[in-house]
Structure 1
Amino acid sequence: MAILLLWAFFAQAVLAIPHLSLTADEPVYIGAGYAFLHSGDLRLATQAQHPPLMQEIVALPLLLRPGPELDPLAGWETAEMVRFAPAFVAWYDGQLDEMALMARMPVVLIGLLWAATLFRWAADWFGLWGGIAALTLFAFDPNVLAHTALATNDVGFAAFSLVTVFAATRFLRRPSWPTLALTGLALGASLSAKSSGFFTALVLAVLFPLTPLITGERHIRRLAERVGQFTLVLLLGVLVLWATYGFECRPLVQDRLPVPLATQWQVWHEMGQHLGTGHTAYLMGEIRETGWRSYYPLAFTLKTPPITLLVLALGLIAALAGGPRRWLAMAPLWVYLGGYSAATLLSRVNIGYRFLLPMLPFGFILAGGLFRTSAPWWRSPMLRCSAWIGLAVAGLVTVVPLHPHYLTYFNFLAGGPSGGHRYLVDSNLDWGQSFKALKSYLDEQAVERVRLSYYTYADPALYGLDYQPLPPAPDAPPILPQRLDPAPGVYAIGATTLQGVMVADPDTFDWFRHREPLGRPGTALFVYRVEAPTASPGWLAQCNVPLAPLTDAAIAEGMGRDDLRMVYFDCASGWLYPGGSWGWYALFRDTAHSGDPFIQAHLAGSRLSYEQRRAATLPPFVLYESAAGTVAPPLPAEIPLRVGDLTFLGYGVNGPLPASPGYPLDVETWWQVVNVPERPLSLMLHLTGLDGAPVAVGDGLAVPVEQWREGDVLVQRHRLALPEDAPAEAYTPITGVYWLDTLERWPVEGGDQIVLDAIPIGR
């Protein structure tokens, strides 16, 4: 059974490889490894920010066939990885699939070592069924499969770390020189695979002196022996690390004494800076450099298959119920899982679920304890077989529909793979692996050219894509042209850049966030078709509370036009519905989100088109698209009344009735412009009592006369302060228009005011 599971794991990973384009990190690791193996020069090693073992392993097969000479490649002389990596990958144009397969296959083989070690450890502790259960969880885990099919260092570190702790555990049970040597070599591989390798050494530093305390051998001599043995293991591990650098010995600073591992010291220094400054990451709509304590727990919850979460929880309960002796016997699991969990919670570098990969096999072993052969509930072979079938079926149901896009997995808590972009991006979802899927999709849709946003080193043209680059791609402008109203065409935007990571302005692609994509090739890419409007937009109305958010230059750049009618109005005191065509409303973001029911009511008929969430070259603002059409007041006039250059259309009362004394009463009157007056005016609303005397007055003009055009609909908001001692009775609102300079009222049929329906005031 274990052999079948290993074959299933191997087949899934290998069959996924041909469908995946190179991810963001792969050209860096493959290129740096090839450069060192080809020339012995470590000039690119520090830019990879990790020790070179996995870089050398993935690049080693490339030496079996002719490869590029380094000197002609851009970026080699100046040691610029951002130029070297694209040039290195471009050299393989026409044979990129073969190169990717050769580089990725060693990682698949390391993944098999990882799986086999997991099975052996779980079977040693919990019997055959415990090993099979742990291996089943592993073989059908989409996150494990995703990274096993990529030429990166995540699987290498996770596998070598597991082998190290497993070998150390066996040595501490039955000491022998071969096992000690294996532990040291495995530790060296762990240290050499990734900068995180030092964590494995810390685990051993705890386990070696802890063992005498667990076994009751508390003699100081035994403790000294364990410390000495750990020292030997550490020295051997460092020797292996040094070997991966070709036993480099050079000065760290010019004219100083040479030191071993000089490049590694630089890598550690840069890693320390990285840990201190953090890493740009996205979580649930927010972008940070310094990370979140909740990032990794949330990533684990959303990207781990539900069956795994369930079995892990049950396995943990079973382990805790086993009593102190069992707890102590499982010390390697507790030390690794506890230490690594603490490290993730404290880390400011939120790079993705792949950082959790080293923990998974330890969790699977813990879950395997639930299936231990000696457990009383496992005495029935039928029960054992049924439980395993349940695990296997759950795993198959998880991974088969995903193939080959395992990287995009999210469980039902996130809404599945299609909902994951709302929570996490980058290597959790969109790492540049979907260019082949995009090419197939565009061919099916008969799309010849696409506007493409990407951030990886591999040029999409290498996969047959004819594209116009969008930010942050090379040769693209830093800010998307016409980002407020994109030009017609087909756009393909990765989830990572769509959510604002890797781009200069995180809201660069916000216009697209408010549209449904035409398709989701590979799940990680969003394809949109922007159609040319049937009618041209005619206006942009900006709320000037506190200020109009968009300058003329920003409008011309963001919309690609400078012929719009520009209107400015006080949206807290009134509203404007320009006549004749569709257009936009622009408001400060805080104003739009203030919760003002008047503003919300008048935006309800418009669609949020763009939202600038963060201050950049422009302040935070929102843009709403409003279609052309007829608008009507809540309480239309039975017959519209002509009032000079205006027509009274009706009114509305906002809020519950009866109104209460001491609280404001919110009334709005609606008017349509027939002719544009030449003088300033005011729209009045007086609330009169039974005696005809006004008890509250709310006059004003939210849209200045000079902003009007024929056909516009004006809404004036009248906020009336009701006296606290106002009697409980029906009050009559009257409205009208008067010149501001002379206070002369405009004539209305039958007088100079319009009497509205009575408004009750209660207590």
Structure 2
Amino acid sequence: MANSENRTGFHHWAHRVTIISLMVVHTGLVAWASWRYSPTQDEIGHLAAGLGVWKFQDFSLYRVNPPLVRTIAAAPLLFVDHEEDWSEYHPGATIRQEFDLGQRLFVANGTNSLWMLSLARWSCLPLTLIGLLICWQWGREIAGEPAGLVAASFWCFSPNIIGHGALITSDIAGASCGLLAAWQFSRWLERPSWRHAFLAGLSLGLALLSKLSWVVFFPIWPMLWVSSRVLTQSPRDLKKEVLQFILIMGTGINLLNLGYLFDGTGTPIGELGFYSTPLVGQKLLPGENLPQNRFRATIFENIPSPFPREFLLGLDAQKSDFEWGATNYFLGETKVADGWLLYYVTGLFLKVPLVLWVLFAWNLRSGLNDSALRKKQARLLPLIVPAVAILTLASLQPNLNSHIRYVYPVLPCLFLVAALGTAKWFRFTLFCLALFSISSLSVYPYSLSYFNYSIGGPSHGHKYLIDSNLDWGQDMIAVREWIAENPDSQPVRIKWRGFLPLEVLGIDAELAKTGEDRSGTLILSLHELQRLDSGFQKFQRERPIGRVGYSFNIYHVNSNNRSRNSTAESKINEN
């Protein structure tokens, strides 16, 4: 008996050491990537919008995302000396101001803005650790401690989690908070209580404050609750559960309103101005058309909104963005305001290490014949159903096919389902986890540009996807280092995916212009290389002399604007 207790105590201690180690490793990986990444395209807008919340209590800046992440990100700047430029700030403007304000913020602070951004990124580290901890806790509740540790390890070493978790955008924070909400709701479904209902409500509010996509919880949670009651054989108190479900929704909505400081809560529906087709009846372009409202002069006009004004306007703006679309690139093809039904499904497949898909499919297939495993998988439905709904809704909006990160709520589903069979296939699962980690770390710290080896790895990613899937302007610090290590490369011209002057990044070079014939070194963004309207497509026929990360090619250009063939290799990341 004593030996058994000793073994149990040792295993408990070893499991705790393992999960703490995973947290430390993940923090280190994300923190270092945060330091290495230059400002990405959206981050400058997020940081300015976060400061706008603290300074003006203005939630309209970057309204297409709720305020939680940007507010946390901007908090360290309250304690750091920095300059601000709000000369072009216009409260209540219908056009998006955050990118211009962000550019002014970074220009005002010069190279010091890179330190400011690192502080902002590091302040968001707890948000990605939430996802790791919930993967561990939910996995161990369903399938035991080893399964929880495997799921947490997938989160820890995922190139997608590391790459985007290093930024102050809301994608990974949203995945974490949505995972937390789904877990707490599942606990209430399995063991209804007032405590579980209150915690589920708090988690719902956090999810809604992190990512607009989680509005799918509102229609899905009632359906899951009704289905749970129908399928449950044990007697349950219907009246008590109804009241608890009301508590969940009420707590979530109230926390959402608190996050917006109740700004515009209770505004009559008819007083709001919208641009998207569902709320207007036609497409309207912000800045060129006056907002409208299809509920005016109807019986719904005077109904007070239970949600903050900017939350509703953010949903409307997001839908409008999807309707108007963008120039989209996929598998070597470009479309304007049009896209592909399988963009997100295919993109996910390419961006996730292959071995995880193998293990996920293995567990899913085994669940068809193994009732015990199938029951474990069913306990994940509060996460799987909303994630699949987000993937489906995104796929049905093909006008904006630019960012696979929109469907990252699917990732924790993959991690948990793949981990559920750990006890049954322990060695096979650990083998897959090891390959997963090696595949991810082989490209670190360029994790944002990760592509799996079904297409030959990230060196070939630009042939399939661009934008934030490959090149979001994150590798400019590595570009700066390459220029410093190659002084003979001058004069250097750069074409990159970003808004900031190169001086802000401490880079001694010029911005490349379309059609220039000057000799020298051209450092060309692979996003710009693939775009039809960039004017740099001719370099697709040229051989680069090297690369920086997986997002820039380097060319030597002579006077007739031809790139000289060379076997020279870049000193930066030739893996």
TM-score range, shorter chain: 0.7 to 0.9
Aligned-partner Cα distance in 1 for 2:466–2:23: 30
Q: Does 1:189 align with 2:206?
A: yes
Aligned to 2:393: 343
Rounded Cα–Cα distance in structure 2 between residues aligned with 1:334 and 1:322? 19
SS at the partner of 1:138?
helix
Displacement of 1:320 in angstroms is 2.2
1:66 matched to 2:113? The reply is no
Q: Which amino acid aligns with 1:468?
A: E
- How far residue 23 of structure 1 moved from its aligned partner, in angstroms, is 0.6
Q: Alpha-carbon deviation of 1:197? A: 2.1
* Cα distance change, pair 213–43 in 1 and its aligned pair in 2 (3 A): closer
What is the SS of the residue equivalent to 1:269? helix
Distance in structure 2 (CA, Å) of the matches to 1:332 and 1:81: 35
Matches within 5 A, 1:536-685: none
In the alignment, is residue 136 of structure 1 matched against residue 139 of structure 2? no
Question: Could you tell me the TM-score, scaled by structure 1's length?
Answer: 0.62
Q: Please give the alpha-carbon distance, in whole angstroms, between the structure 2 residues aligned to 1:153 and 1:325.
A: 32
Residue 571 of structure 2 corresponds to none
State the shift of 1:391 in Å: 3.8
Say yes or no: does 1:397 pair with 2:438: yes
C-alpha distance in 2 between matches for 1:237 and 1:515: 55
For 1:188 and 1:67, locate their aligned partners in 2 and report how far apart those are by CA, in whole Å.
Answer: 32
Maintained 8 Å contact 1:312/1:367? yes
Amino acid at match of 2:260: Y
Residue number among 441, 452, 465 corresponding to 2:494 in the alignment? 452
Once the two structures are TM-superposed, the CA of residue 450 in structure 1 deviates from its matched residue by: 2.3
Task: Indicate how the Cα distance of structure 1 residues 334 and 388 shifts in structure 2: closer, same or farther if over 3 A, else same.
Answer: closer
Do the aligned residues in 1 keep the contact of 2:38 with 2:474 (CA within 8 Å)? yes
1:495 aligns with 526
> Structure 1 residue 487: deviation in Å?
3.1
Which sits farther off after the overlay, 88-97 or 399-408?
88-97
* Structure 2 match to 1:469: 511
- CA–CA distance in structure 1, aligned partners of residues 375 and 233 of structure 2: 12
SS in 1 for 2:553: strand
Equivalent residues of 1:319, 1:366 under 8 A apart: no
Asked whether the 8 Å contact 1:85–1:457 carries over to 2, the reply is no
Match of 1:261 in 2: 308
Contact in 2 for aligned 1:333/1:366 (Cα 8 Å): no
Q: Say which one has the larger Rg.
A: 1
Residue 371 (structure 1) aligned with residue 422 (structure 2) = yes
1:240-389 alignment runs, 5 A limit: 240-249=255-264, 252=272, 261-288=308-335, 289-323=337-371, 325=375, 328-348=378-398, 349-372=400-423, 375=424, 384=426, 386-387=427-428, 389=430
- Residues 516/76 of structure 1: CA separation in 2 closer, same or farther (3 Å cut): farther
Shift of residue 316, structure 1, vs aligned partner: 0.8
Measure the CA separation in 2 of the matches of 1:43 and 1:337.
27
In structure 2, what is the equivalent of residue 442 of structure 1?
483
Aligned ranges for residues 676-715 of structure 1 at < 5 Å? none
1:326 and 1:124 mapped to 2: Cα distance?
10
Take 1:392 and 1:5, find their aligned partners in 2: how far apart are those partners? Answer: 13
CA distance in 1, matches of 2:445, 2:510: 27
SS at match of 2:344: helix
Alignment match of 2:233 (pick from 216, 225, 229)? 216
Deviation at 1:344, TM superposition (A): 3.7
User: Is residue 192–residue 241 contact of structure 1 (8 Å, CA) maintained in 2?
Assistant: yes
Aligned residues: 506
Aligned residue among 13, 16, 27 for 2:44: 27
Work out whether residues 27 and 458 of structure 1, in 8 Å CA contact, stay in contact via their aligned partners in 2. Answer: no
Are the aligned partners of 2:185 and 2:382 in contact in 1 as well (CA < 8 Å)?
no
One of 475, 481, 484 as aligned partner of 2:515? 481
Q: What residue identity is the alignment partner of 1:311?
A: L
Residue 120 of structure 1: CA displacement?
A: 0.3
Separation of aligned partners in 2, 1:283 and 1:440: 31
Q: AA paired with 1:354? A: R
Deviation at 1:217, TM superposition (A): 5.8
Distance 1:403 1:327, change over 3 A: closer
* Residue 146 of structure 1, aligned match among 151, 163, 175: 163
Which has a greater percent of strand? Answer: 1
What is the Cα deviation at residue 297 of structure 1? 1.7
Instruction: Report the counterpart of residue 512 of structure 1 in structure 2.
Output: 539
Change (3 A) 1:144 1:316: same
Q: 1:439 to 1:229 in 2, by over 3 A?
A: same
Deviations 1:665-695 (A, max 9, x none): xxxxxxxxxxxxxxxxxxxxxxxxxxxxxxx
Secondary structure in structure 1 of the residue aligned to 2:454: helix
Number of the residue aligned with 2:192: 175
Question: Which amino acid is 2:322 matched to?
Answer: L
Indicate the larger mover: 392-401 or 130-139.
392-401
Tell me if structure 2 keeps the 8 A contact 1:277–1:290. Answer: no
Q: Which has the higher contact order (CA 8 A, sep 6+)?
A: 2
Change (3 A) 1:68 1:182: farther
The secondary structure found in structure 1 opposite 2:143 is: helix
Give the 3 Å change call, closer, same or farther, for CA 396–327 of structure 1 in structure 2: closer
Write the mapping of 1:406-425 to structure 2, written as runs, cut at 5 A. Answer: 406-425=447-466
Which letter maps to 2:382? P
Post-superposition Cα deviations, 1:309-357, rounded to whole Å, max 9, x if no partner, equal 1111111112222237556444335423443342343232323221232
CA-CA distance at 1:469 after TM superposition:
2.3
- Any conservation in 2 of the 1:76–1:84 contact (CA below 8 Å)? no
RMSD across aligned positions (CA):
2.7
8 Å CA contact 2:59–2:67 kept in 1: the answer is no
Distance 1:333 1:322, change over 3 A: farther
Structure with the bigger percentage of helix = 2
> What is the deviation of 1:235?
2.3
- Contact (CA 8 Å) 1:279, 1:291: kept in 2 or not? no
Structure 1 counterpart of 2:367, one-letter code: A
Displacement after TM superposition at 1:488 (Å): 2.0
Segments of structure 2 that go 5 or more residues without pairing to the other structure are: 1-17, 274-290, 292-300, 566-575
Q: Percent identity among equivalent residues?
A: 26
SS at match of 1:528: strand
Q: Distance in 2 between matches of 1:208 and 1:344?
A: 25
Cα 1:367–1:510 shift into 2, 3 Å:
same
Worse overlay, 345-354 or 408-417: 345-354
Cα distance, 1:55 vs structure 2: 1.4
Q: CA deviation at 1:116?
A: 0.3
Among 512, 517, 532, the alignment partner of 2:559 is 532
| Residues 98 and 387 (structure 1), Cα distance of their counterparts in 2 relative to 1, 3 Å cut | same
Take 1:282 and 1:186, find their aligned partners in 2: how far apart are those partners? 36
2:252 pairs with 234, 237, 241, which one? 237
User: In the TM superposition, what whole-angstrom CA distance separates every residue of 1:20-48 from its partner, at most 9, and x where no partner exists?
Assistant: 101111111111011111222334243xx
> What SS class does the counterpart of residue 181 from structure 1 fall into?
helix
* d(CA) in 1 for partners of 2:375, 2:485: 62
- Taking a change above 3 Å as real, the CA distance of residues 528 and 337 of structure 1, as seen in their structure-2 partners, is same
The TM-score with structure 2 as length reference comes to: 0.82
Q: Kindly tell me: are residues 206 and 131 of structure 1, through their superposed partners in 2, closer, same or farther at Cα, counting changes over 3 Å?
A: same
> Relative to 1, partners in 2 of residues 1:469 and 1:76: Cα closer, same or farther, differing over 3 Å?
farther
What corresponds to 2:25 in structure 1? 8
Q: Which runs of 5+ in 1 are unaligned?
A: 378-383, 472-479, 534-558, 560-582, 584-606, 608-763
| Conserved? CA contact 2:529–2:536, under 8 Å | yes
In the alignment, residue 5 of structure 1 is paired with which amino acid? L
